[in-house]
Structure 1
Amino acid sequence: MASNGSIEQLVEVWAPKLSRAFLEAVYASRDRVQIELLVKMLERGDVDGALRAVGLDPVAFRALDAGIAQAFEAGGKLTTGQIPATRDPDGFLLKVQFDTRNLEAERWLREFGADLVAEIERDTREMVRQRIVEGIEKGENPRTVALDLTGRINPATGRREGGLIGLTSSQVKWVASYEARLRSGDPAQMREALAMGLRDKRYDRTVEKAIREGKPIPADKIDKMVTAYLNSALKYRAEAIGRTEALSALHESQMQGWRQAIAKGQVRVEQLTKVWRSAMDERVRHTHRRLNGQQVAFEEAFVSPSGALLRYPHDPMAPSSETVMCRCHMDVKMDFLKGVK
Structure 2
Amino acid sequence: MARRPTQRQLFAELAAKFGPEVAEAFMVVVADLKSGVEFQRLVAAIDQGDLNGAMEALHLDRAAFHALEAKINEAFIAGGQAAVSSMPASVAVGLRFDPGNQRAAAIIRATAGRLITGLLEIEREQARQFIAEGMARGAHPRAVGLDLVGRISRVTGKREGGLMGLSAPQRAYVATARAELASADPRLLKNYLSRGRRDRRFDRSITKAIREGRAVDPAIAAKAITAYERRLLQLRGEIIARTEGIPAIRAAKKEAYQQLVDSGRITEAEIERAWHNAGDRRVRDTHDAMGGQTVRGLTLPFQSPSGALMMYPGDSSLGAGADEIVACRCDESISIKRAA
Q: What is the TM-score of this pair, normalised by structure 2?
A: 0.92
Partner in structure 1 of residue 262 of structure 2: 263
Partner in structure 1 of residue 331 of structure 2: 329
* Structure 1 segments of 4+ aligned residues over 4 angstroms from their partners: 1-5
- Name the aligned partner's letter for residue 84 of structure 2: T
**Conservation of the 8 A alpha-carbon contact between 1:96 and 1:266:** no
Task: Report SS of the residue matched to 2:157.
Answer: coil
Distance 2:9 2:291 in 1: 21
**Conservation of the 8 A alpha-carbon contact between 1:277 and 1:292:** yes
Distance 2:202 2:44 in 1: 36
Partner in structure 2 of residue 29 of structure 1: 33
Q: Which structure 2 residue ranges, 5 or more long, are not aligned?
A: none
Structure 2 residue 233 is matched with structure 1 residue 234: yes
Partner in structure 2 of residue 47 of structure 1: 51
**Conservation of the 8 A alpha-carbon contact between 1:95 and 1:266:** no
Instruction: Return 311-320 or 126-135, whichever deviates more.
Output: 311-320
> In the alignment, which of 14, 19, 34 is matched to residue 18 of structure 2?
14
Partner in structure 1 of residue 147 of structure 2: 148
> Aligned-pair distance for 1:117?
0.7
Partner in structure 2 of residue 183 of structure 1: 182
- RMSD of Structure 2 on Structure 1 (CA): 2.0
Distance 2:195 2:238 in 1: 18
**Conservation of the 8 A alpha-carbon contact between 1:301 and 1:310:** yes
After superposition, give the CA deviation of every residue in 1:142-193 in whole Å (9 maximum; x if it has no partner).
1111122221111112221112111122221111011112223222222222
**Conservation of the 8 A alpha-carbon contact between 2:30 and 2:165:** yes
**Conservation of the 8 A alpha-carbon contact between 1:287 and 1:306:** yes
Partner in structure 2 of residue 302 of structure 1: 302
**Conservation of the 8 A alpha-carbon contact between 1:127 and 1:167:** no
Partner in structure 2 of residue 118 of structure 1: 117
Partner in structure 2 of residue 193 of structure 1: 192
Distance 1:2 1:133 in 2: 54
Partner in structure 2 of residue 79 of structure 1: 83
Q: Which structure 1 residue ranges, 5 or more long, are not aligned?
A: 88-92
When residues 27 and 65 of structure 1 are mapped into structure 2, their CA distance, relative to the original with a 3 A threshold, is same
Distance 1:172 1:180 in 2: 13
Distance 1:293 1:250 in 2: 20
When residues 160 and 167 of structure 1 are mapped into structure 2, their CA distance, relative to the original with a 3 A threshold, is same
Identity %: 37
- Name the aligned partner's letter for residue 30 of structure 1: K
Distance 2:121 2:40 in 1: 24
Task: Report SS of the residue matched to 2:163.
Answer: coil
When residues 45 and 23 of structure 1 are mapped into structure 2, their CA distance, relative to the original with a 3 A threshold, is same
- Name the aligned partner's letter for residue 122 of structure 1: E
Distance 1:17 1:316 in 2: 22
**Conservation of the 8 A alpha-carbon contact between 2:7 and 2:86:** no
Q: What is the TM-score of this pair, normalised by structure 1?
A: 0.92
> In the alignment, which of 295, 320, 323 is matched to residue 322 of structure 2?
320
**Conservation of the 8 A alpha-carbon contact between 2:126 and 2:168:** yes
Distance 1:267 1:209 in 2: 70
